Chains A and B, each alone.
Chain A
């Protein structure tokens, strides 16, 4: 029993927290990058610029349908073949940003499509240009609608950072593996710690998404559904 408790000694905990810090750093960098690029790509895909939109749409489809692990490998082991050598942290940030911005772009496009066309027509008829209407009328409403979807995308991003251990990113997963690699008695405690740490981060993000859902009123439908279920219970 004592050997198992030794897994949570201060040194190990600090080592795990260092890993957690790298996980958070990589997640935050890729969240910021993928949000920026995702919104830009989503708009390009929506506004139907000749050729450009079709090409962007095709590339987004391809990236969305590839496994993230493949993209991570490609960035870390494939790109050096053409002379670009990122270190593990940059490689995982780039890979995650590329993959997630394709995901976010699709959400953004769906969010813009969900706004009634009357909004655009009304804005244009009051004398706004197309871009003004998009910027001041359509996008603010669309972003409000898609925030819950984007937050859940970011939850899966945080989980997916664990895949980057395969290119020896010194993240939470990797540090846990190092600890139980040194002492096999620590295996179960380490997996427990991993599960708890990822769960806390992801679950609180998912609570945030639910809160935003209610706060922004985008979940009117699911709110109604919940009432209905409680009614059926009686």
Chain B
């Protein structure tokens, strides 16, 4: 195992960087899109609610791999040439945003509706009430589950290995076939993933206990 780190350290670190980069880009966009759909879902307009419901159910119930491969195979064929990294990240954004939307929605709904009614009665518009009254309170409930979604996102970013995204998992496969030591290579890759996910997971558990 040590020899893997010695011989292929650079490749592994590059993969770790790509995984982290992809996860952070995907997290930012998925948070924005997910929160948008979550707000649409509690919007006082039936049509918008149906749109957001359909979006969430569709992307939650289709495997991430199918979404990613769609962007990797179909989009370059008919529309525009995109790299494996980009198609993987877009797939990850769409997939995660549906889960984040569901998380944020349950956070918004766990805020006492009296808060919204009170704010509206005070003359705030729906958006103002959402922005200044409901969302800040919802945010507190939502942080631990959002952290878990981020851990899932880091793990799911390994789907980039399917589309030549040069992430940690992809580099792991390359190294495994190069060094012929599959077992120790995958153990190394696993350790690097754990460096990303395990501290986050323990921190989220601590936060959950603290906020509960």
Binding site for B on A (CB under 8 A): 61-62, 64-70, 73-74, 77-82, 155, 159-160, 162-163, 165-166, 173, 177, 180, 184, 187-188, 191, 194-195, 198-199, 202-203, 206, 222, 225, 228-229, 231-233
Contact = CB atoms under 8 A, between A and B. Distances in A.
Contacts, number: 129
Interface stretch (B9-17, B28-36, B83-91, B193-201): B193-201
A177 B173 CA distance: 21
Interface string B160-198: 011000000100110010000111011101100110011
Given A159-B62, A198-B62, A232 B117 contact: yes
A156 to B, nearest CB: 9
A173 B63 contact: yes
B13 to A, nearest CB: 17
Label chain A's interface by main secondary structure. Answer: helix
Interface of B: 42, 44, 57-58, 60-66, 69-70, 73-74, 77, 106, 109-110, 113, 116-117, 151, 155-159, 161-162, 169, 172-173, 176, 181-183, 185-187, 189-190, 193-194, 197-198, 201-202
B183 A82 contact: yes
Contacts of A188: 74
A73 B69 CA distance: 19
A180 B198 CA distance: 39
B178 to A, nearest CB: 13
B77 A187 contact: yes
B57 A203 contact: yes
A140 to B, nearest CB: 25
A67 B193 contact: yes
